[in-house]
Amino acid sequence: MKYSENLSIILMRDNGPRRSYRVRRARFVAALTVMACMPLLCAVLGWLCWTLWQQNVQLRDNVLRFESDYQVAQANAERLENLEELLREENIPGRELVLRRLGTGGAAAEAPGEGPAAPASNAPAAEKQAKDQPKDAARANDGPGHEDFPSIDLDYVKVGNVQVREIRGGKLRLALDLRNTDSQKILSGVVSGTLLTADGKTYPLRFDQEDVGNFRISRFKRAVMVAATEKQISLTNAQVILEVRSQENTVVFRNIFAVEH
């Protein structure tokens, strides 16, 4: 008859009863092996978690960048739609000049270097028009309110993923990401906005909560604010001039964003 060897695990107190558990040698060795492999298993799981976290951070950055590119493309499309509507209207200053430039650009694209020669009698007028074109083009590229509200970015705080949307009641919902560019200190400041209507008039925005525009961040903050104007104003083709001021009341960021409907 073959003898089955067992091991006993004895648990006892100094002044109390004892308990013993019989375990087969194979099971005892297997339990020791599992306990010895636990640190290695924890290290592998920790490395996998760190890798997944890095991939998640990279994916989130890509999503934020794609959203920013989408908003820029949407704003450009809205500006082109506004330009198309303006070109359809009559008696608008600069309309003939823009149409002439577009026609000249199309002809040059089809046949570069070829075109009808201008008459000698029209040479002074053409020269004057050529001098006026850069001024008109610069004025058209500036956009409404550009001279009074030039874009500013001092890299004090990184602003991204800005969304300006019209909600019920004629109010505006402003959402933006604020990122601290200096991890060694905490940044604080104020976010404010100004509504720029299609006719070029500006109206300061008033937030529902007065201190909702204040921020104090160490790394990142998603700011969401609901704003309204003092009176009912049409938001068709309107834009919002977004400003971020530092603790010293210095403008560190300013840009114009179209209102989404």
% of the chain residues with pLDDT over 70: 71
Q: What is the pLDDT of residue 108?
A: 46
Q: What is the pLDDT of residue 136?
A: 46
Domain at 152-258: CATH code: 2.60.40.770
**Where are the chain's structural domains?**
152-258
Q: What is the 3-state secondary structure (H, E, C) of the chain?
A: CCCCCEEEEEEECCCCCEEEEEEEHHHHHHHHHHHHHHHHHHHHHHHHHHHHHHHHHHHHHHHHHHHHHHHHHHHHHHHHHHHHHHHHCCCCCCHHHHHHHHHHHHHHHHCCCCCCCCCHHHHHHHHHHHHHHHHHHHHHHHCCCCCCCCCEECCCEEEEEEEEEEEHHHEEEEEEEEEECCCCCCEEEEEEEEEECCCCCEEECEECCHHHHEEEECCEEEEEEEEECCCCCCCCCCEEEEEEEECCCCEEEEEEEECEC
pTM score, whole prediction: 0.43
Residue 140 has pLDDT above 60, yes or no: no
Q: What is the pLDDT of residue 114?
A: 46
